[in-house]
């Protein structure tokens, strides 16, 4: 009996040790994974963009994991990336709550951001509070980056830079005699931080080129507007040469349909970054021909890395990519992974510092270099401007070193 008791006690001891070993192995396995937290607009009004962002993030994750993970020099080993993803339902409050959960419950090491200025603006407060490195490719409003935050980074160049780039192109068209001098501009914009950035870029271009432009309409509109007739009547009455409007895709779609139905015409029309989307072609057809858009990325860029990404995307998802969303998501994740590699560990401050001093190249974006303003942490790089052509074709028209065709201006009357 005594021997049996010893055996039993020994067996129990063995069992306890086995459990301890199993727990230790589990801890080791968990420690060998880099936990990346993310909540995305997978449902709700921004679900289309959210789907693209999920695809781009996953491409970057699969790419680095296929190589065994990210090498952390200070730990002397590679660690794979594990994405913890939630649906924020295109709701800012949900994005905040899920971000809190990712950091306090899931204990993520770093975070990838959601899509849209409203979502990013809301959720970025949380990683800033907990000092967790956070990088997004979905929020371009400069307001996000002028709050004195230290842990928030954005890979989208600003909306003010977008409209300023379009003004630079308009000046060239005036110099070429393709638009009159002064060129009369009718401007409308969403009455929020995004729209005010767009307005600021237009006014910056006017100030830098006196005598070139005359602003004949400067009109804000509410983001939830359905009936654009009152605005467009003002646009028509302004008798402008150029119409510039800052819109997210749902607003662009509604506004331009009504613009076309009312028979409006301008020599040059742009809705900021909107127009080349495949959904625009499907819903409006020839009405989007000759629209001009400034983009953070386009598959038309001549860089080898850009062509490679477009090819990988088609092979994986069986469709040609025309939108910029998955490319910027992919690039955002790659920049984060590079920062982790440079940090050589999962030390959050070291990763933050690596992001702040990042000069990522060759990048997919125009100019092939992605880096952040040291004060605001918003990316700085040039835009590429594209134009829709008949038959579903899109050409890059600006800058010259990225152009695949010549801009049609003035637009043909229909």
Residue 255: CB partners within 8 Å, gap ≥ 6? 225, 228, 231, 232, 245, 247, 271
Residue 185 DSSP SS3: strand
Write down the residue that tokens 């910029």 correspond to. Answer: 324
How far apart are alpha carbons 168 and 79 in whole angstroms?
Answer: 45
The b/e string for 358-383 (b: 16+ C-beta within 10 A; e otherwise) is bebeebbbbbbebbbbeebbbbebbb
How far apart are alpha carbons 116 and 273 in whole angstroms?
Answer: 13
Phi and psi (nearest 5°) for 198? -60, -45
What pLDDT, on the 0 to 100 scale, is given for residue 31?
57
Opening angle at CA 399, ends 395 and 404, nearest 5: 30
Residue 375: CB partners within 8 Å, gap ≥ 6? none
What pLDDT, on the 0 to 100 scale, is given for residue 322?
86
Instruction: Give a three-class secondary structure readout of 132-180.
Output: CCEEECCCCCHHHHCCCCCCEEECCCCHHHHHHHHHHHHHHHHHCCCCC
What pLDDT, on the 0 to 100 scale, is given for residue 146?
95
Phi and psi (nearest 5°) for 33? -120, 135
What pLDDT, on the 0 to 100 scale, is given for residue 85?
98
What pLDDT, on the 0 to 100 scale, is given for residue 401?
85
Look at residues 334, 154, 183 and name the one whose alpha carbon lies nearest to residue 244: 183
- What single string gives the DSSP state of each residue in 304-357? HHHHHHHHHHHHHHSS---SSHHHHHHHHHHHHHHHHHHHTS--HHHHHHHHHT
DSSP code, position 400: G
What pLDDT, on the 0 to 100 scale, is given for residue 94?
98
Pick out the chain residues at pLDDT < 70: 1-31
By the 8 A CB rule, do 142 and 377 touch? no
Q: What is the tens place of the pLDDT at every residue in 290-335?
A: 999 999 999 999 999 999 999 999 999 999 998 999 999 999 999 9
Write down the residue that tokens 């009109």 correspond to. Answer: 219
Q: Please name each of the domains of the chain with its CATH number.
A: 31-157+302-382 (3.40.50.2300), 160-295+385-402 (3.40.50.2300)
Report which secondary-structure segment, H or E, holds 295: strand 292-295
What pLDDT, on the 0 to 100 scale, is given for residue 29?
37
How far apart are alpha carbons 49 and 139 in whole angstroms?
Answer: 12
- What single string gives the DSSP state of each residue in 208-266? HSTTTEEEEEEEEE-TT----HHHHHHHHHTT-SEEEEE--HHHHHHHHHHHHHTT---
What pLDDT, on the 0 to 100 scale, is given for residue 32?
86
């Amino acid at each position: 009996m005594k021997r049996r008791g010893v055996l039993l006690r020994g067996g129990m001891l063995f069992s306890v040790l086995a459990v301890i070993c199993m727990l230790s192995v589990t801890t080791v396995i968990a420690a060998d994974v880099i936990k990346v937290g993310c909540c995305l607009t997978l449902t709700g009004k921004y679900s289309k963009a959210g789907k693209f962002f999920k695809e781009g993030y996953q491409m970057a994750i699969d790419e680095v994991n296929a190589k065994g993970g990210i090498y952390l020099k200070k730990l002397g080993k590679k660690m794979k990336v594990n994405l913890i993803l939630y649906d924020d339902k295109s709701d800012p409050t949900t994005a905040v709550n899920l971000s809190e959960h990712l950091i306090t419950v899931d204990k993520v090491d770093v975070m990838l951001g959601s899509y849209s200025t409203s979502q990013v603006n809301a959720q970025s407060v949380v990683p800033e509070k907990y000092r967790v490195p956070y990088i997004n490719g979905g929020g371009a409003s400069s307001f996000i980056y002028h709050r004195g935050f230290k842990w928030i980074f954005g890979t989208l160049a600003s909306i003010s830079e977008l409209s300023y780039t379009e003004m630079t192109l308009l000046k060239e068209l005036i110099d070429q005699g393709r638009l009159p001098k002064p060129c009369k501009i009718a401007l409308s914009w969403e009455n929020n931080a995004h729209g005010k950035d767009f307005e600021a870029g237009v006014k910056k271009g006017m100030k830098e080129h006196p005598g070139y432009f005359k602003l004949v309409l400067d009109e804000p509109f509410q983001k939830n507007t359905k009936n654009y007739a009152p605005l467009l009547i003002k646009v028509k009455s302004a008798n402008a040469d150029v119409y510039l409007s800052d819109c997210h895709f749902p607003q662009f779609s509604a506004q331009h349909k009504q613009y076309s139905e009312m028979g409006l015409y301008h020599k040059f029309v742009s809705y900021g970054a909107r127009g080349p989307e495949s959904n625009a072609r499907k819903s409006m057809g020839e009405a989007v021909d000759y629209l001009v858009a400034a983009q953070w990325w386009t598959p038309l860029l001549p860089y080898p890395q850009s062509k490679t990404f477009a090819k990988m995307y088609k092979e994986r998802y069986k469709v040609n990519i025309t939108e910029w969303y998955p490319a910027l998501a992919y690039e955002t994740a790659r920049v984060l992974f590079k920062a982790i590699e440079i940090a050589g560990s999962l030390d959050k401050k070291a990763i933050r510092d690596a992001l702040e001093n990042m000069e990522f190249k060759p990048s997919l974006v125009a100019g092939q270099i992605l880096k952040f303003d040291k004060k605001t942490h918003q990316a700085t790089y040039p835009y590429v401007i594209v134009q829709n052509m008949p038959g579903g074709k899109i050409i890059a028209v600006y800058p010259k070193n990225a152009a695949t065709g010549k801009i049609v201006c003035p637009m043909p009357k229909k």
